[in-house]
């Protein structure tokens, strides 16, 4: 009994934190207006707007992460079953036969809201616009099969006063969120809402270990050293004609391989004490060097970098870095570290 009470208190505390984090979000506001009626229903099927929001954003994250993969259409075909089962599980997994229509309505409402967000991305200025358009068609076909009168509910959403007033802000947020690359993800790998994100999905956190730290404090960056190695690394990429390359989780990604070669140079030639975690290297590449990352989930890329740091550096890559740095340091003296 004590354990159940503690679990319930943790859940209440988490929900309060989530409402605090997402309370001002345009999509969460719309979900609250549309789905609030299911929170106080007299039937056994009760679901809070926050739960709908978690499912919707989880699907948006999944679609964005797998947009160019061939199995995305199959995943969308399974959306009705997946969402319906998740709603049923979150409402306790028990309901009467006469409540099937409520469960169906909850499912179609969720899919309509997902589709509404995707329709905001059908714009020539949005990367992947045509792929998002195909997703909206797949969802529409799915709804035609599972809930033929879905367009009535969709119209009810788009005619809602809240939507009419906030639709432009909602579009701006959706575009920013869905095209934010690794910076944008409200949900974790289990599809649960994060409690430490900013408005665009970027994770907030306590002070983190940095790559080039000040002496005596590994969480405080040495700005001059960081700036020096940022410029050196970018100059090297430009010389190698890799300055247009993006980050991904391939073992053959040339930018990552060159970073690993630089790390060996830093540790062995310059005797720098550096972290073995992938996180500070990720922040160096993305935050300091502003290199675009095609991997949506930051954690995935951090893990990949951590694994790559353990790999062997090719002799050719090592020689390229050393040769470049001998020339670079003649014109750009290295700051003390």
Same domain, 134 and 257: no
Same domain, 50 and 152: yes
Give the chain's domain count: 2
Same domain, 81 and 178: yes
Same domain, 220 and 108: no
* Residues contacting 254, CB < 8 A, separation 6+: 240, 242, 245
204 domain-assigned: no
Same domain, 63 and 122: yes
Same domain, 291 and 153: no
Same domain, 119 and 33: yes
Give the residues across from 203 on adjacent strands.
197
By the 10 Å C-beta count (0-12 exposed, 13-18 middle, 19+ buried), 133 is classed as: middle
- pLDDT higher than threshold 90 for residue 321: yes
- pLDDT higher than threshold 50 for residue 90: yes
CA distance linking residue 169 with residue 28, whole number of Å: 12
CA 297, 303, 307, 308 torsion: positive or negative?
positive
pLDDT tens, residue by residue, 154-182:
999 999 999 999 999 999 999 888 876 54
Last residue of a domain, one of 168, 183, 198: 183
161 domain-assigned: yes
pLDDT class for 3, splitting at 50, 70, 90?
very low
- Domain containing 134 equals 2-183
Q: What is the mean pLDDT of the chain?
A: 86
Same domain, 250 and 307: yes
Same domain, 48 and 165: yes
- pLDDT higher than threshold 50 for residue 2: no
pLDDT of amino acid 298: 77
* Residues contacting 270, CB < 8 A, separation 6+: 334, 337
pLDDT of amino acid 67: 80
Same domain, 221 and 165: no
pLDDT tens, residue by residue, 111-144:
999 999 999 999 888 888 999 999 999 999 999 9
Other beta carbons less than 10 A from residue 272's beta carbon: 16
- Return the top range by mean pLDDT from 11-15, 157-161, 206-210, 222-226: 157-161
pLDDT of amino acid 217: 66
Last residue of a domain, one of 183, 205, 236: 183
174 domain-assigned: yes
Average pLDDT for 4-28? 76
Tokens of 11: 């859940």
């Amino acid at each position: 009994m004590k354990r159940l009470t503690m679990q319930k208190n943790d859940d209440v505390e988490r929900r309060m934190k989530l409402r605090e984090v997402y309370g001002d979000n345009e999509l969460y506001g719309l979900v609250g207006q549309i789905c609030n009626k299911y929170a106080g229903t007299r039937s056994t099927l009760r679901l809070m707007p926050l739960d709908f929001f978690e499912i919707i954003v989880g699907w948006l994250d999944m679609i964005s992460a797998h947009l160019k993969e061939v199995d995305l259409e199959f995943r969308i075909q399974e959306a009705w079953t997946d969402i319906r089962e998740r709603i049923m599980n979150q409402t306790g997994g028990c309901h009467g036969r006469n409540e099937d229509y409520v469960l169906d309505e909850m499912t179609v409402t969720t899919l309509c809201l997902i589709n509404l967000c995707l329709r905001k991305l059908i714009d020539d200025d949005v990367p992947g616009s045509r792929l998002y358009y195909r997703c909206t068609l797949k969802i529409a076909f799915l709804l035609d099969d599972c809930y033929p009168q879905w367009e009535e509910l969709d119209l009810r959403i788009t005619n809602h006063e809240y939507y009419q007033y906030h639709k432009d802000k909602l579009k701006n947020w959706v575009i920013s969120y869905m095209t934010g690359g690794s910076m944008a993800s409200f949900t974790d790998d289990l599809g649960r809402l994060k409690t430490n994100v900013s408005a665009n999905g970027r994770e907030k956190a306590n002070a983190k270990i940095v790559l080039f730290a000040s002496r005596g404090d590994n969480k405080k960056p040495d700005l001059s050293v960081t700036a020096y190695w940022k410029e050196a690394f970018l100059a090297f990429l430009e010389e190698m004609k890799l300055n247009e390359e993006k980050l991904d989780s391939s073992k053959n990604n040339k930018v990552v391989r060159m970073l690993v070669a630089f790390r060996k140079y830093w540790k062995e030639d310059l005797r720098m004490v550096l972290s073995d975690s992938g996180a500070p290297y990720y922040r160096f590449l993305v935050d300091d060097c502003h290199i675009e990352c095609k991997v949506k989930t930051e954690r995935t890329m951090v893990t990949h970098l951590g694994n790559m740091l353990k790999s062997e550096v090719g002799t050719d890559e090592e020689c390229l870095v050393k040769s470049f740095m001998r020339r670079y340091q003649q014109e750009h003296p290295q700051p003390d570290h």
